[in-house]
Amino acid sequence: MEDILEILAVVLVIGGVCIALPLIIVWLTNRRKSHEIDKKTEILMALLEKNPNLDPAEVLDKLNMSSESGKKSLKERLLKKLLGGCICTLIGIVLFFTHLFDFVFLGDKTTGVVGGGVLTAVGVALIIYYLVSKKMLQSEIATEEKRIMEQQISE
C-alpha cells in the first residue's frame, strides 16, 4: 500500500509540474495579452468618440509605442539568454566534475553526474540560441537601436 501511495505522490508531483504549471502559465499570459488588447480598444474607441477626425492608425501607433517603452529591447533579451547559458554551463560543469571525481558527494554519484550533464547541455543550448539569434536578428537589432536613439534625441 505504501508503494502505491509513493508512486501516486510522484505521479501527482510530476503531473503538476510538467502539465499543470505550463498550462497555467500559458493561460495567464494569454489572459494578460487579451486584457491589454481590450484596454487599447477601449481607449481608441473613447478617443474616436470624442474626436472623430483622428486617424486610428496614428493613435494605435502611439498606443503601441507607449507599451513598448517599458519592455526590454531585443538585444537585452538576447544578452539575458547568454547570461543564463553561461551560468547553467558553469554550474553544470562544476557539478559534473565534482561528482565524477568524488570531490563533493551530495547524494548519489550518478544523480550529480547526470544533473551536471543536463545543466551543461541546457547552458550550451542557450549559448547556441544566443549566437544563432544574434546572427539572424542583426538587422532588427540595428533598427531597434536606431529607433531608441531617435527617441532619445527627440526627447
Q: Is residue 154 helix, strand or coil?
A: helix
> Which DSSP letter does residue 155 get?
-
User: Distance between CA 118 and CA 12 in Å, rounded?
Assistant: 23
Q: What are the pLDDT digits (tens) for 26-41? A: 889 899 989 988 888 8
Task: Kindly compute the dihedral angle of the four CA atoms of residues 20, 25, 26, 27, in this order, to the nearest 10 degrees.
Answer: 80
27, 86: one domain: no
Cell numbers standing for residue 9 = 505522490
User: Distance between CA 49 and CA 152 in Å, rounded?
Assistant: 32
57, 103: one domain: no
Whether the Cβ atoms of residue 122 and residue 88 lie closer than 8 Å to each other: yes
User: How much is the pLDDT for 65?
Assistant: 58
85, 155: one domain: yes
pLDDT at position 124 over 80? yes
22, 97: one domain: no
At residue 70 the predicted structure's pLDDT band, cuts being 50, 70 and 90, is: low
Single pTM value for the model: 0.55
Q: What are the pLDDT digits (tens) for 76-119? A: 889 999 999 999 999 999 988 888 887 766 667 788 888 889 99
22, 93: one domain: no
The total number of structural domains in the chain stands at 2
**Residue 2: which domain range?**
1-71
User: How much is the pLDDT for 57?
Assistant: 77
Q: Is 104 or 21 the better-scoring residue by pLDDT?
A: 21
For Cα atoms 74, 77, 83, give the angle at the middle one, nearest 5 degrees.
140
81, 151: one domain: yes
15, 66: one domain: yes
| Residue at a domain's end among 49, 71, 93 | 71
Q: Is residue 103 helix, strand or coil?
A: coil
User: Distance between CA 96 and CA 123 in Å, rounded?
Assistant: 13
Lowest mean pLDDT, pick from 18-27, 101-110, 129-138? 101-110
User: How much is the pLDDT for 4?
Assistant: 84
User: Distance between CA 59 and CA 65 in Å, rounded?
Assistant: 10
Q: What are the pLDDT digits (tens) for 10-20? A: 888 888 888 88
Q: What are the pLDDT digits (tens) for 37-67? A: 888 888 888 888 888 888 777 777 777 655 5
93, 143: one domain: yes
139, 122: one domain: yes
